[in-house]
Amino acid sequence: MVMVELKGLHTVRAKGRTYYYAWRGGPRLHGQPGTPAFIAAYNEAVAEYRQPDSSRFRSIIALYKASDAYKGLADTTRRNWALWLDRIGAHFGDLSVRQFDRTDKIRPVIRRWRSTYAATPRAADYGMQVLSRVLSYAVDPLGRIAANPCEGIAHLYSGSRSEIIWTPEDLTQFRGGKKSSPEVMHAIDLASHTGLRVSDLVRLAWSHVGKDAIVISTGKSRHRRDAIIPLYDDLKALLTSIPKRSPIVLTNGKKHVPWTTSGLNSSFTAAMKSAGMEARDLHFHDLRGTAATNFYLAGLSERVIAEIMGWEEDQVRKIIRRYVGRDAATKAVIQTLNRARRRTGVVKPTVKPSA
Does some domain include residue 162? Answer: no
Q: Are strands 17-21 and 10-14 parallel, antiparallel or unpaired?
A: antiparallel
- % of the chain surpassing 70 pLDDT: 82
Average pLDDT of the residues in 14-24: 79
Domain count, the chain: 3
Per-residue pLDDT at 169:
87
Is the separation of the CB atoms in 173 and 276 below 8 Å?
yes
Does some domain include residue 354? Answer: no
Is the separation of the CB atoms in 25 and 107 below 8 Å?
no
Per-residue pLDDT at 54:
82
**Do 312 and 180 have their domain in common?**
yes
In this model, does residue 25 exceed pLDDT 70?
A: no
| Domain extent at residue 63 | 53-157
Residue 352 gets which letter from DSSP?
A: P
- What is the longest distance spanned by two Cα atoms in the chain? 112
Please say which residue of 129, 157, 185 terminates a domain: 157
Strand-pairing partners, residue 248, are: 205
106-133 pLDDT, tens digit per residue, is 999 999 999 998 888 888 888 999 999 9
Question: In degrees rounded to 5, what are phi and psi of residue 180?
Answer: -85, 75
**Do 280 and 334 have their domain in common?**
yes
**Do 196 and 316 have their domain in common?**
yes
CATH number, residue 211: 1.10.443.10
Per-residue pLDDT at 1:
44
Which range among 26-30, 59-63, 80-84, 204-208 shows the weakest confidence by mean pLDDT?
Answer: 26-30
Distance CA 124, CA 118 (A): 6
Is the separation of the CB atoms in 42 and 22 below 8 Å?
yes
**Do 274 and 322 have their domain in common?**
yes
Which one-letter amino acid corresponds to residue 184? V
Please say which residue of 106, 128, 157 terminates a domain: 157
Could you tell me if residue 8 is left (phi over 0), alpha (psi between -120 and 50 degrees) or otherwise beta?
A: left
**Do 75 and 35 have their domain in common?**
no
CATH number, residue 85: 1.10.150
Does some domain include residue 332? Answer: yes
**Do 44 and 173 have their domain in common?**
no
In this model, does residue 234 exceed pLDDT 50?
A: yes
**Do 147 and 190 have their domain in common?**
no
Per-residue pLDDT at 189:
95
In this model, does residue 307 exceed pLDDT 50?
A: yes
**Do 84 and 5 have their domain in common?**
no
Does some domain include residue 350? Answer: no
Burial of 225 (0-12, 13-18, 19+ CB in 10 A): middle
Q: What is the pLDDT confidence band of residue 174, given thresholds at 50, 70 and 90?
A: very high
Distance CA 229, CA 31 (A): 60
Distance CA 320, CA 305 (A): 9
pTM exceeding 0.85: no
Does some domain include residue 102? Answer: yes
**Do 291 and 203 have their domain in common?**
yes
Average pLDDT of the residues in 316-343: 67
- Rg of the chain over Cα atoms, rounded to whole angstroms, equals 26
**Do 174 and 278 have their domain in common?**
yes
In this model, does residue 317 exceed pLDDT 60?
A: yes
H-type helices in the chain, by residue range?
A: 36-50, 57-65, 68-71, 75-92, 103-115, 121-139, 168-175, 182-194, 198-201, 233-241, 261-274, 286-297, 302-309, 313-323, 326-344
What's the sign of the alpha-carbon dihedral 167, 172, 177, 179? Answer: positive
Q: What is the pLDDT confidence band of residue 319, given thresholds at 50, 70 and 90?
A: low
**Do 87 and 187 have their domain in common?**
no
Bond before 36 cis per omega within 30 degrees: no
Q: What's the CA angle centered on 15, arms 10 and 19, to 5 degrees?
A: 25
**Do 142 and 39 have their domain in common?**
no
Average pLDDT of the residues in 246-271: 89
Per-residue pLDDT at 87:
92
Per-residue pLDDT at 28:
80
In this model, does residue 323 exceed pLDDT 70?
A: no
177-217 pLDDT, tens digit per residue, is 999 999 999 999 999 999 898 999 999 999 999 999 999 99
Higher per-residue confidence, 174 vs 74: 174
Does some domain include residue 346? Answer: no
Please say which residue of 110, 132, 157 terminates a domain: 157
Does some domain include residue 151? Answer: yes
Does some domain include residue 353? Answer: no
